[in-house]
Amino acid sequence: MKTALIILAAGKGTRMNSDLPKVLHPIAGEPLMIHAIEAGATLEPDRSVVVAGQNATQVHDTALAHDMSIKVVEQVEQLGTAHAVAQARAALTGFDGMALVLYGDTPFIRASTLERMRDALAQSDVVILGFEATVPGRYGRLVMNGDTLEKIVEYKDATDAERAITLCNSGVVACDATLLFDLIDAVGNDNAAGEYYLTDIVGLARARGLSATAVTCDEWETVGINSRAELAQAEAAFQVRARAALLEDGVTLTAPETVFLARDTAIGRDTLVEPNVVFGPGVTVESGATIRAFSHLEGCHVSRGSTVGPYARLRPGAELAENVRIGNFVEIKNAQVAEGAKVNHLSYIGDATIGAGANIGAGTITCNYDGVMKHHTDIGAGAFIGSNTMLVAPVTIGAGALTGSGSVITSDVEPDALALARAPQVEKPGMARKLFEMLKAKKARQQRGS
């Protein structure tokens, strides 16, 4: 079945008290809207439309940065959910297939749930996603007759008997696209809020003799984010589930509650993650690695048997081969570190290639930025970089070469060569004592003068 996603992302998010659109606030390192888009992406949609409102430019840019094929349309006036979906009509001109309406502030719907909705649409004209609410509150209620969904009643318009129903509406809808827009054309705004409710399409469909049903999911999947407090609660809930999934998959977390994961964090079994580690987006860690305490990883790949940290930072583009050692207070950015290489202490390696078995001494820096351009450093296999070496890129250190501690290397070093680049040591007997006496006398004069 062809599929089109319609992601509603026009809400003002007043309760967030923020200049940032609500759907762009992050959970697990990604905007809420991206979570919703990725949930729908598992259905391999033929088209995806984001309906933006407040700060449409920011929403537009974020959506296209994630997927250039997404079409962003604008809802200038917020007149209800049916009106919002109607804004996607032009972007879906000529589309023949299922339209799936998702919400940019509802990040946790599982792929399996959306697949069940798609399957249900083969037997029904309209499919609504519902959930049994622990506290139904002000959710819309699903009025069922067996497997048939008769109507959806908004809380404001519900009778006491209807408010007693605990099966609630998530707002997620699956429907043939042509039928969806036809039903929306018939939606009115004669209700307590004066808005065009998408939920009215169920009653309209039933009045035409069409079928409607509900697919249910766990309540947590339908959580919508409307405030900073709810954002924090959703983040905590995501982390609990993500940590539990890793533990189930054979990853050791010595203090799970202190480890923070991104939406796409991938960690292989028998990897050890020590306390207070943060994973940003785009991290893959293979089996049998060790990520030591207080490390931060983002946009990087760590191969089997490698060790990172403690107190290490891997930035985007860091690629560690097998059995690499990245030690304390080391930062790696846009660099490839080959098998068995070591960067053990207090170093910055950026825009570089490090050969197999190379050893990078403490305090080494690849000086990759000249104030305008970035430049590359190439360190050969088995090279030994002495402590406190400055490698001024672009520069190549040959395989098996050695740099003396404290050197500033500005030219290429041949394989197996020793490179020394530092001023000769000068010693002046007695000068230290004389200098200290002079400074102490100056301080004494200043104190008397005050």
Distance CA 353, CA 54 (A): 44
Map residue 167 onto helix, strand or coil. Answer: strand
Residue 446: alpha-carbon gap to chain centroid: 58
Distance CA 2, CA 174 (A): 12
Max CA-CA distance within the chain? 105
State both tokens at 268. 């292989």
* DSSP secondary structure letter of residue 423: P
| Angle between helical axes of 32-41 and 111-121 (0-180°, round to 10) | 50
Contact 117, 172 (CB under 8 A): yes
Owner of token pair 């003002």: 12
Nearest residue to 269 via CA among 287, 255, 247, 293: 287
Active site residues: 345
Nearest residue to 129 via CA among 158, 109, 153: 109
